[in-house]
Amino acid sequence: MNYKYIVVGAGLAGLTVAERIANVLEEKVLIIEKRSHIGGNVYDSYNEEGILIHNYGPHIFHTNDREVYRYLSRFTAWNDFWHRVLTYVDGNLIPMPITVETINKLYNLNLSCNEVEEFLKKQALPINEIKTSKDVALSKVGTDIYQKIFETYTKKQWGIDPGEIDTSVISRIPIRLNRDTRYFNDRYQGMPKYGFTKMCEKMIANKKIKILLNTDYKEVIEDLQYDKLVYTGPADYYYNYKYGEMAYRSIDFVFETFNREEYQPAPVVNYPNDYDFTRITEFKKLTGQDHKMTTILKEYPCSDGEPYYPFPTKECKEQFNLYQAEIKREKKVIFLGRLAEYRYYNMDAVVRRALDIFHGGFNG
């Protein structure tokens, strides 16, 4: 069978490219997806009690990229949503990321914004060369806050000490010298009005888009002819683990439903030091759904299972560079997304990357 374009993977990256091919180039495109559904990790569904859950952990859309926001807005209306996260430390719930309110609650103080700035400067340790996530944290907040908020949480999340992890991990967590307790401060924030899956379905409503679910692309690819393949799966799998398997961090998701309307005071509560799970999400507080019951999700990071997070170490980067050299020699295949590029992407960033790939790889 002949398709000019084939996309491997029906996550946001693959769906964005397929949508552009069908609606801009007006060409047929085949999507091959190993899972039983579209949407990748943003997939959401209604559980047995009729509560809308995020099957692969909480996803909140936020961006400063106007073009990405307007692009996705073609496929969904938005519920306004300002994400707020609490962290359980020393028996108290404090706001995350670190703000003036966080410091005051953590230490039972009443400091102004300027006073908190001076407080953190005194706490911070002089680090000559910032090489790891531990260095980042200690240089910004010092030992006590690092131990209370970052150290054990990071160990649970990644299974190794923050001193072995790339600077990018903790650098993603902002420290604000104001009272803004929103987790994100991007200009555009919200939740798809009818869920992420409905948004994804609208993205590929064009009849020129064909989807093959429950299929490993390697089982069918030799029977297909194509001019260009967009691959969003793991790069090591594509190359049959030529340079070994890449390390990923996975998560064991445990859902619980309670016969009461509310479980916790915030959509997400982090547990850096207590329990084996890293956080609890209460989905109704994300979606705004009205329901007499509530469903929560506990996340237990692990090494085995679905590959969710590329491992942020120097050794893993060096290993992926070997695959990267192979990728650069490809003529008909474009590698796109978190797994294919072995890189952490937020939702907006992966859509932006997909749009850029389309404009450069298909129209350039």
| pLDDT tens, per residue, the chain with 364 residues | 789 999 999 999 999 999 999 999 999 999 999 999 999 999 999 999 999 999 999 999 999 999 999 999 999 999 999 999 999 999 999 999 999 999 999 999 999 999 999 999 999 999 989 999 999 999 999 999 999 999 999 999 999 999 999 888 887 778 899 999 999 999 999 999 999 999 999 999 999 999 999 999 999 999 999 999 999 999 999 999 999 999 999 999 999 999 999 999 999 999 999 999 999 999 999 999 999 999 999 999 999 899 999 998 999 999 999 999 999 999 999 999 999 999 999 999 999 999 999 998 665 4
CA distance 270 to 258: 20
Global model pTM greater than 0.85: yes
Structure tokens at 62: 């936020």
Q: Is residue 203 a contact partner of residue 19, using CB atoms and an 8 Å limit?
A: yes
Residue found under tokens 């944290």: 137
Q: Is residue 83 a contact partner of residue 186, using CB atoms and an 8 Å limit?
A: no
CA distance 332 to 228: 5
Widest pairwise Cα distance in the chain: 69
Domains with residue ranges and CATH for the chain: 5-82+188-247+310-361 (3.40.50.720), 97-171 (no CATH)
Peptide bond into 97 cis (omega under 30): yes
CA distance 323 to 36: 28
90 class by beta-carbon count within 10 Å (0-12 exposed, 13-18 middle, 19+ buried):
exposed
Please write down the long-range contacts of 315-319, taking CB distance under 8 Å and 24 or more positions apart.
316/246, 316/247, 316/342, 317/166, 319/243, 319/244, 319/246
The residues, any chain, with a CB within 8 Å of residue 137's CB and separated by 6 or more, are 145, 146, 150, 151, 162, 170
